[in-house]
Amino acid sequence: MKITGKIYLSIILVFLYLPIFFLIYYSFNAAGNMTSFKGFTFDHYLSVFQNKRLIVIIVNTIAIALLAASISTLIGICGAIGIYYLRNKKLKVGLLTLNNILMVSSDVVIGSSFLLLFTFIGHFTGMGLGFWSVLISHIAFCVPIVVLLVLPKLYDMNTSMIDAARDLGATSWQTLIKVIIPHILPGAIGGFFMALTYSLDDFTVSFFVTGSGFSVLSVEVYSMARKGITMEINAISTLLFGLVMILILGYYFIKRGQQRRIEKRGGILR
């Protein structure tokens, strides 16, 4: 990389991460403001963990993220395999286009659409906005992410492996479990972590589909910020940023371990 490219990349990283580190720095400010740093303290973090409402909201957020990521990963794997083996090219292109709509559409459009949908359903069923509306919405925008990460692994797969499994007498289910799933597993794991991160970070869609008795962390932080900036918001944002970084590092180490195992198998084969 040329020097100018490195300088440009450094400037971009500074603009992206400097506000975050500024927020983290003042989350430890004993003065309770973001104008002057008067001492180091953990009081703002303690107040977060002593706030029972915030603890419930954090648990809600993590539960929604884990459920949405798990369910969307299963649906995304099935969808990607279905699209891969679809023989009708026009139908395949149509399904891929529909899958990509949620990726390119505005979050405001997606959120308002789900709001209208759940309001219509609630009119006949009596089901209000809350846990299920948030979960279904998160699954909906997480599934396309998983599909897009799994499909390249399927197209990269050597079809002779599947033919060999069938020649050896493997059933369709055995071929799926023993050959296809292990090959697409890195993409599925990547899709799970991406879906988990998207669900944790989402605000716009969640803002439209949360009810009065249920909330997630991003919506709660927005509500708190409207009343005035407090160091509790900094502490919550720091914790959320740390959680996302842990997830990214976890995915990196899992990917690295898989790559090493593949290299070792290659070395043995050679």
Q: Report pLDDT digits (tens) over 128-144.
A: 788 888 999 999 989 99
Q: Which two tokens stand for residue 120?
A: 């219509």
Alpha-carbon gap, residue 140 to 69, rounded angstroms:
10
This prediction's pTM: 0.79
Are 196 and 139 in contact by the 8 Å Cβ rule? The answer is: no
pLDDT over 80 (residue 146): yes
pLDDT at 120: 86
